[in-house]
Amino acid sequence: MTTTRMTRYDRSMLRLMNDRRGWPLHATAARRRSVVAAHVVLTAAIVALVGHFCLSRAEPTWAAVVVAVLILPWMVATGVINSATRGLLELRERALDERQLAERSRVLARAHRLMTCLLAGAVVGLLAAGAAGGDALRVYSAPALAAVLVVHWLMPLWVAGLTAQDEPAEDEAVTL
């Protein structure tokens, strides 16, 4: 940890991120991948429904209700991923040790590379849609940019959840 003193907030978040009660939900790599996959699916559904709510000319109130219902499992999945990474992206720098800071840098670099590829794909897709048919570019550009923004926001969390390592077994001896 850095030499800056941790605040009461830092200490409470560190305790929360290291709470062992939620560990069975992300104890194995398969469970972590499942939670990340569920989070991606919930995010895609929420973004699609918000887009439908904003762009539909019909009665879109059902979409707002479904979004409100999907937010709770989305928040739970977010919490499980944060717990699996032990707060790697949520804790302040002063609450992380050197290993965690290095891991945070690796996760952010990998997420940045993935987002660069996704943005390039979005540009190509929008240009192809614009070339294919008249109003397609105007119709799809705002929802596509909103979706890419959401993915940009969540990509580090997903990468951290997918690359988190299993906790060592309690009976394993630490060798130095």
The b/e string for 54-71 (b: 16+ C-beta within 10 A; e otherwise) is eeeeeeeeebeeebeebe
DSSP, res 168? P
Calculate mean pLDDT across residues 50-78. 89
Which tens digits make up the pLDDT trace of 114-164? 999 999 988 888 888 777 776 767 777 788 888 889 999 999 999 999 998
| Sequence spans of domains, the chain | 8-163
Question: pLDDT value at position 87?
Answer: 86
| pTM > 0.75 | yes
- Contact status, residue 25 vs residue 76, Cβ threshold 8 Å: no
Average pLDDT, the chain: 86
